[in-house]
Structure 1
Amino acid sequence: MDALLSEDWLKQTVDLLVRLVELAGAVVIFVGAAVAFARFLVTAVRTRDAERFVPVRLNLGRFLALGLEFQLASDILRTAIAPTLREIGELAAIAAIRTALNYFLGREIKEERSELAKAAAAASGATSAAPPE
């Protein structure tokens, strides 16, 4: 029983979990990039209007934010067992960078959504304000 709960076994188990969570993050980012690329190609073929690419960027941004959260979770797991002061410092730096990336990415997504909503409201207002023919 002691061998099953040994620190080595625990480290190996957490290492496996870290790899799985990192893989999940990488898959989320890859899928998001693939979906965004496909949507980009479809949009590029249909129109040259730059405004049509905003939803593609927003969707990719959501995937990136989620992928970064997975990556941060793997970093936290990595330092869960007997972390050294150096590992704690590295985690703090990585967490700060990823949190800042997520913050600015989230803010940009929110701003873009707001602009899309305003444009949609203006477009529906313009069509309803037009006199019937």
Structure 2
Amino acid sequence: MESIHLLESGLSGVVSLGKLFLEAISVLCVFLGIVKTIQLGLRFSEFQYDEFLFIQLRIRFGVWLALALEFQLGADILATTIAPKTDTLIRLGAIAIIRTLLNYFLNIELEHEFELRKRQSGSEHLPPIKS
């Protein structure tokens, strides 16, 4: 019986460490997304409104946010394996809904950007978007 408690506490420690690691990666993704989005914005010398640039900036940051939410979702899944509390499950559901909505709207933005690029180039064969 004592060995089971020892295993449970060891598993709890591993899960806590894994949760912390995934949350740290999530925070790093948000910060990297901010940096990459600012870099993209600074590449353009004209500071006038451009719909194509605006869509690229939104997509760039949105992709990083989606990645951060994936890691956050993983951290919450780990937390629910050890102690499935109501507030943890609600948080897990909220993150899953936010992630789904973000991915949906990112896909709409990507389709809009593709249509803009297609209209600008007049061709179906477009070069890949530079990161």
Q: TM-score range by the shorter chain?
A: 0.7 to 0.9
Are 1:68 and 1:102, in contact at CA under 8 Å, matched by a contact in 2? no
- Aligned position for 1:78: 79
TM-score, normalised with respect to structure 2: 0.73
Q: Structure 1 vs Structure 2: percent identity of aligned residues?
A: 35
Q: Give yes or no for contact 1:75–1:91 (8 Å, CA) kept in 2.
A: yes
Give, in angstroms, the shift of residue 10 of structure 1: 1.1
Deviations 1:75-126 (A, max 9, x none): 111112241345334322332233223322x22332233223323333x69x
In the alignment of these two chains, the number of paired residues is 122
Q: What is the aligned partner in structure 2 of residue 95 from structure 1?
A: 96
1:28 is aligned to 2:29: yes
Q: Runs of 4 or more off by more than 4 Å in structure 1?
A: none
* Counterpart code for 2:29: V
SS in 1 for 2:82: coil
List runs of 5+ in structure 2 lacking aligned partners. Answer: 125-131
Instruction: Provide the aligned C-alpha RMSD in A.
Output: 2.8
User: 1: CA distance between counterparts of 2:52 and 2:37?
Assistant: 13
Computing the radius of gyration over CA atoms, which structure comes out larger, 1 or 2? 1
Aligned residue in 1 for 2:129: none
AA partner of residue 71 (structure 1): Q
- CA distance, structure 2, for counterparts of residue 52 and residue 100 of structure 1: 22
Whole-Å separation in 2 of the counterparts to 1:35 and 1:15: 30
C-alpha distance after superposition, 1:31-59 (max 9, x if no partner): 1110111221221x245351352323322
